[in-house]
Structure 1
């Protein structure tokens, strides 16, 4: 009967062992909520992921996700979620980059990375050096911009509709009423300095109800 490796119930010692194995490629380590994350040198990313797959049994690339921090010089974090099927354990590997600097592709390590890198490119505009098929995958091929960037307008730049006159789908610049253009996005539950209809109750009224 085949022996299955026990699930890892604690990260104790795991992060230290991985840092020791990965060496100078690791720039930062974070352990929080029972999970381990490594920030690594962008140029050494393929070597890091290969070592994690081959030497530490993180066989599966589950996801590649993007995060946008516009205030940073390298505004994008690219996060690789890895799963060990034999250890029942996950780690995250992060690299940072800007709008112009490509991240090395990992399609030669996991073929599924081709689709995942295309998604990050489509939504954030991050380039992947070595990906030979870096096309949009979720938005239309004629889409303008990258909609998961924090500075991308919620309304987009163009709207799409079917034209009976032209008998095809056409794109037009977004046209908004002024009320939408000046919307301040302030939630009434987060310190707004105005009173919503129905909230005009006076202090005397509150005190009276509290005493009844």
Structure 2
């Protein structure tokens, strides 16, 4: 802990106090200081939201206003903190890194604009009521892909081309192929096995 010589401040003073109460909406709080219990506002630069019992630095202005400028120590060392930012906040940096064991985003709208967007992880879980993707080109390189859908509907305006080393289609009840023109070719063998086969 650092110490400094006392400085006379004719235009105001800074004192250490303890938060005795926090307002619900307006951000005002009661601070117990050597001058008694005062009502103080949280300064815009005090991003860490004070809680009851926290030790704070309070600035007293000549006009009688009191402002909490920062939180010095927390009442409970539980590692929990809340940053209260203005309604519109912009973070600017050439490189921004966020490191955490768990990250949670709660937002009505999330917009991401990037020349290159890279996602990497061991497991990707998605749960959406609806997903819309608009892309000029999508390229995927996946070792194994599995999907389970209640209902799947796909529509391709142009050419739908699939190429595979082996392809297997399995349907529990029925499988229907309907087209104006259908061309089925096999270079070696074509095997049709069914109890009944209807042509025409």
TM-score (norm 2): 0.26
Larger Rg: 2
TM-score (norm 1): 0.25
Point out the structure with the larger helix share: 1
